[in-house]
Structure 1
Amino acid sequence: MRMLEKDEEEGDIQVSWQDQENINTFSKYNAKLQDLEEAYESKKTEKEYLDDLAMELELADEDEPVKYRIGEAFVSLSLEAAQERISKSQEELDQEIEGLKTQMDEAVEKMDGLKKVLYARFGNAINLEKD
């Protein structure tokens, strides 16, 4: 924390109902963005694991069954069936990741709009940046 310089000090700024609504909305988008970023990183990691698994299965023996996890149980599948399931899972994850990216971009766009409004109204008296 730091003290404001004399020329940075603002007088008492009245916060209107609309200002408070904008601040609350910004806070909601900020929390949503953090949740989306966590989900995005989790899905990205899961995708990397599936990519590694797909590469490992390319080296597997075609005649031996592959243990494939479905829920909490393992079933024996042919190599081809396991590769198809992994490919389908990769496509689904790609779609989920793109959806999360889109939601994150929308949240950032809305937050940027609110930042402009709030900084125009409050100047240095408000801090909306991540530390």
Structure 2
Amino acid sequence: MKANEHADIEVTWEDQKNINAFSKLNVKLEDEQERYSELKLELEYLEDLAMELELADEDDPINFKIADVFIELPLEEAQEKIQTEKERLEEEVEKIKSNLNQMEEQLAALKKVLYGKFKNAINLEKD
């Protein structure tokens, strides 16, 4: 397609709304992907910690951080708190994963519409 052929494509208000929606959704997707990675890493740390506590002596108190303060907890209570936090993180990871899938589906639908009209006159791919 020649450069002057791109000028012949009329951009309607609906097209502009779709382009804007694609852009906003793309930014939101990147933010959610970053959050997903952070939570997955945090979940891995908790799983490693839970395995380490399996080897701990039951009589030794465990230093447990709450906000900016460390408190001593019995081993069993520390394990319960870690398990509760792991479950919370797993739920949040699954929720974000579901949101990511929905956003990717929406982006694919918008790409189909926009490429259908603009063909190679528009670039919606990440660099």
Distance 2:50 2:27 in 1: 35
Structure 1 length-normalised TM: 0.92
Identity %: 54
Structure 2 length-normalised TM: 0.95
| 1:74 match: secondary structure | strand
Q: Residue 111 of structure 1 corresponds to which residue in structure 2?
A: 107
Distance 2:121 2:2 in 1: 13
Q: Residue 52 of structure 2 corresponds to which residue in structure 1?
A: 56
Q: Does 1:40 align with 2:33?
A: no
Q: Residue 81 of structure 1 corresponds to which residue in structure 2?
A: 77
Higher relative contact order, structure no. (Cα contacts within 8 Å, ≥ 6 residues apart)? 1
Q: Which runs of 5+ in 2 are unaligned?
A: none
RMSD of aligned C-alpha atoms? 1.6
Q: How many residues align?
A: 127
Q: Residue 8 of structure 2 corresponds to which residue in structure 1?
A: 12
1:6 is displaced (CA, Å) by 4.5
Distance 2:2 2:90 in 1: 52
| 1:82 match: secondary structure | helix
Q: Does 1:122 align with 2:85?
A: no
Letter in 2 for 1:87: Q
Q: Which runs of 5+ in 1 are unaligned?
A: none
Letter in 1 for 2:64: Y
Letter in 1 for 2:106: K
Partner of residue 23 from structure 1, selected from 11, 19, 22:
19
